[in-house]
Structure 1
Amino acid sequence: MPNHAIYLGVGQKTAHELSKLVQQNVHYPSVSDSEHLLAMPELVGVAGKRVVILRGNGGRELIFDELTKRGAHVHYLQLYQRQYRAVESAAIEQWQQAQIDTMVVTSAEQLDHLVAAMPESRQAWLKQQWLLVPSERIAKQAIAQGFNNVTNSQGASNSTLFAALQRLKTGLNNDEQK
């Protein structure tokens, strides 16, 4: 990997893993989302610069579109492929028997898949679950899809999600969206 490049990650874990690979410092925003990444000083003056976005298939086009508007020459390098599992009726029955009441969804694509894969007969049950999401954007999307209880954890790192889950389960949650 080039030594003269500036490396950025959307979140701390991505930055840490990329740093091990490139043997250089990798910067990341305090809030792990595309909007905060785009606000970083390293991405302000990018006109005429070459930018490579490492990603999986699909996903949002926000970073590509915004950096292109700022005059950067942006390219994708797909490193992995997202594959979603089918939601099987037996698994849903197990969730219900175990009295699962909270689900963690870390991307808009996961949310869309979960809703689309859930049989119509289970949609009402699904929409009553508490949903823990990493951003305001996904919280709004969940509410628009009919979820009644949504908490924005303010990030997708394991530690952030776990802390939000602990707050939620101990009644110390002030992040609900209605």
Structure 2
Amino acid sequence: MLLRLFQRDNTVKPKTKPRQKAVCKAGRRWPWGRPNERWPWVRHRSVGKESSQAYTISEQEQRMKRLEKLKRDLERMKNERDELRGILAHYTDKDLKDSINFETMMLEMQHEQVMTDLKKIPQQICEALYKCQELIQENQLYCIRNCHLLTESFHLKKQVKILWNEYRELLRE
């Protein structure tokens, strides 16, 4: 409303007669006032202009809000940076060197442990091969014994069968 007032020309306009209420042919008032106001959902030209101006105002407000948010984020980041700088300032070069020396010492100890484990691997492989050879020899002995026992049992079964048949014949006689 203020924008409409400021956008008007400052020229003097002749006075107009006050508007009369719209009246239909029978002398009654229109239900919505004037005949062109029959449908309240129809927009007038001035309403469209106000909404576009309101749109630009709300757009500017959004931009200002974003700018304020960015300023707050920037301030927060500066504070975090300053805090980290303060923490880093508490550590002296000597402390940093000591921590680096400690880390290198730990890494060297781990490296030595891995190297000794690697040196033990060939000996462990030789021991495993020796045990495998002993197991293979034992397995071969068990296989040979098993074969002998199977042949013996087969012969014994054969003899039992022969004896069984002889016994039947004796029983028949």
Normalised TM-score (structure 1): 0.14
Larger RCO: 1 or 2 (CA < 8 Å, sep 6+): 1
More strand by share: 1
Normalised TM-score (structure 2): 0.14
More helix by share: 2
